[in-house]
Amino acid sequence: MSRSEIVRRLKAKEVVETSTDPEPSKLRLPRIAVQRARMPRLSPMERVFHPAWNSADDHRLLRLKSRGKNFTYIAASLGRTRISVEQRWHRLRVVRGISNALVGYGLSKTPYNIEGCNG
């Protein structure tokens, strides 16, 4: 079909079939078996380890946020950017029992050790 024929049909609002591919229902794609990787169960502390953060800052962040302080205030008190504090809070808040886990871990200013994380 020529270009001019396609244009004429489009202007006449006729259906123009330009593809010679088979209908999608006639395509047969191979099925691939996918297995989900088994992820090891992590302790609450292992789920939040990050080399730029420590347990004391995490605990302070949670405490200030629970008192109604905004992220800008918390960031200034921790010496961090607002966005990093906000992202860290979102990471911490989904971990059940994180406040108790932080206290049990020990509130220190030493950054988390990623290699030897045995929370």
Whole-model pTM above 0.75? Answer: no
CA distance 58 to 118: 18
CA distance 105 to 13: 71
67-97 pLDDT per residue, tens: 999 999 999 999 999 999 999 999 999 888 8
14-72 pLDDT per residue, tens: 555 555 555 656 666 566 666 667 767 777 778 888 889 999 999 999 999 999 999 99
| C-beta separation of 55 from 101 below 8 A | no
